[in-house]
A and B are shown apart, each in its own frame.
Chain A
Amino acid sequence: MSNATKLLALAAAALGPVLVRAEPVVFTYTEAVYIDSKEGPLRSPEGVACDDRGALVVADTGNSRLVTYAVREDGVGAGTELKVPQLVAPVRVQLDPQGGTVVLDRKGSRLLRFDAKGAYVGAVEPKGDLPGTFAPVAFKLDADRNVWALDGAGRVVVLDPAGAVTRTLALPKGVFTDLAVDAAGTVYAVDAGQAMVWSAAKGATAFTSLSKSLKDEMSFPAYLVVAKGKLLIVDQVGHGVVVLGTDGSFQGRQLSYGVSEGLLQYPGQLCLTEKGDVFVADRNNNRVDRYTIAR
């Protein structure tokens, strides 16, 4: 081995772990989804959900519909439209473990449930003692099919699969745009105004700040997901994805502004699979972008 090679190997050994720490998640562009099976273009899609069985559901907000796709080894298949009168402005979508879908429709702030065949089941209405108006602005489903809703009344409301209110948790003052819950039951919420993440452990009665204000790192965080021991945050006005540790530490930023494939314009929701596929609802680019974070 020459001296130069030895030096390079030494530098790689020394810098390798540093680089891995600084850039723990790397997005690599794969493909983009523009249309449904009838060549109908997506328009301002804000929501996207996916699972490990190859299902991909797009909340095609501007067209007031859902479009479902099958993700195969060779790419995303043709999309099937799901359009019902109850869908006016679908903005967030989640797949439940039984194959059903829950959609947040911004018009009227309603959570709508669809079964595994795509049939409309009904609106998710809280049952039990819940003061004030329930007007969800974001939500997540956990493994037990409980609905975790970020309510416009400044609280997190947890509903069991039957709709019964099982827990409420007041949010701090802020402009909260999304929440996420991990397998341990810790709930995270993101305040876009201060670019801060808050958390509450299972059983906690109040949120505490997890991160400091990350205004230098994020412009307007709009979506949050916990995956692979990280918090992935969609920075809608910053046109990118910010990666935080579950301790709130800033660990990197991926993607940037642009119109060409692999770039974002006002992204909305993001979903990812165990395999490392990531789909981003690229709202102002009228498409869904597919990336991989698998190494």
Chain B
Amino acid sequence: MSSSIGILLALSLAAAPAAGSRAAPAQGKLKLKPGASGQVCLECHSDFQKLLQKKFVHTPVRAKDCTGCHSPHASEHGKLLAAEGGEVCLSCHSVTPAAAKSTHKPVAENRCRECHDPHASDAQFNLVKAGNDLCGKCHAGIVTAAKDAKFKHRPVVSSGCTACHEVHGSAKGATLLKADVPGLCTSCHKVDRPIFAQQHGGYAVGTARCTSCHDPHGSNARSMLRNNVHPPVAGGQCSKCHEPPGSPNKFKPRQAGMALCRGCHNQVVNAMLDKSRVHRAVTEGDSCLNCHTPHASSEPKLVKANLVAVCGACHGATIARQARSETPHAPMKDGRCAKCHDPHSSSSALMFNAKDSVELCGRCHDWQKHSTHPVGAKYKDPRNRNLTLECVSCHRAHGTEFKHLIPYATTTALCTKCHEQFRR
């Protein structure tokens, strides 16, 4: 053994008891009162006696070791915590798998207290609420829809969200799923039974992604199909779009891209292609399927997802601008992009579904009743001889970093762009 290794070993042996019983020597040295690590705290924080009566009490609280998480004198973190937020929890709890495919957002952001009460709770695992009610705090739309669904998914009712989802992180699936789809589904639903093929029109869909048609949380449509079902799917007419089930290329669409959709939607397609500005998503790539799903969707008109996500796939900067905006514009915030834009085609430069912004904005805003500022075709914009005054002369509908969707920090700055005589 070299001398340096010997010194290191001696040092580590000397340090070991101190690390194992941190409080004992300190108590002597600092002349701490008995129970200084927690019992003493209760003399002032008497409300904690009530917490100790709860059904589930966090181990350090039960052991009256407040200093396990809090610094008794001062701290750079709120509530005298020894570290910031959930970092304190991580000193004892390791909750996410090493190679997680998905991690719950509050976990990734160390916001443990969103779900757990660090002291005590009547719910297991010190959860702030029990069962699906807890998940519903953030995922209200899904939890409510599942509760109200006409056709319920049994595991959601009997075991709650955790029947299929991990709570902290998953090494096996996206969106915290305990396994990937369809593996997770086929662990209960046997795909080799004749009834399975019969229910799917004779097509062998055992390896397909079940959730592209079915809503795993429950639905108001038969067979728990997503709420908006493409009529051929609802009618079991799969071969209207696909090769027959017995053919070698049974899943292949009968025609490629828009040509297939034209079979039923010819007039709609012709009308959209007739306009001078056709959205590139309509004609390029997967054509209609760039934005629509062919079987069933939770969104109206078989759109793949909320329009914030669908439109944001290409127009991310516009969506991001809205997110930063001081004044959110309701249609955009709610993903109703089609309220103002025609997603297929238009004759207007900004794909408006109205003649101009005066007509468009007037559908929701009764500006005529509260504004006397002239707008419309009769009024020239004094800054530009080729523009007339419209709502977008002063407002930017996707938001700005200033209030009221105006592009300048103050109303004065905006108004004096035209009314220069009042500029200071």
Contact = CB atoms under 8 A, between A and B. Distances in A.
The answer to whether A binds B is yes
Interface of A: 34-35, 41-44, 61-62, 64, 88-89, 106-107, 109, 135, 137, 152-154, 175, 192-193, 195, 215, 218-220, 237-238, 257-261, 266, 283-287
B73 to A, nearest CB: 43
Contacts of A238: 317
A193 B385 contact: no
Contact of B383 (A41, A154, A175, A260): A260
Given A88-B276, A107-B276, A192 B386 contact: no
A34 B285 contact: no
Nearest to A107: B276
Contacts of A62: 349
B280 A260 contact: no
Given A237-B315, A259-B387, A259-B393, 10 more contacts: A43-B386, A62-B349, A137-B280, A152-B280, A175-B314, A192-B314, A219-B317, A285-B387, A286-B386, A286-B387
Given A88-B276, A220-B315, A260-B384, A152 B349 contact: no
A220 B316 CA distance: 9
Nearest to A88: B276
Contacts of A220: 315, 317-318
Contacts of A195: 317
B381 interface: yes
Interface residues of B, number: 25
B280 A41 contact: no
12 contacts: A35-B386, A107-B276, A135-B283, A152-B283, A192-B314, A220-B317, A237-B318, A258-B407, A259-B381, A283-B349, A285-B387, A287-B386
A259 B284 contact: no
Contact of B316 (A35, A137, A215, A285): A215
A88 B283 CA distance: 18
A35 B316 CA distance: 35
B301 interface: no
Given A192-B314, A237-B318, A238-B317, A259 B384 contact: yes
Nearest to B281: A175
Contacts of B317: 195, 215, 218-220, 237-238
A236 to B, nearest CB: 10
B417 interface: yes
B277 A34 contact: no
Q: What 10 pairs between A and B have smallest CB-CB spacing? A: A286-B386, A219-B317, A89-B276, A152-B284, A259-B383, A260-B383, A41-B386, A44-B349, A175-B314, A259-B384
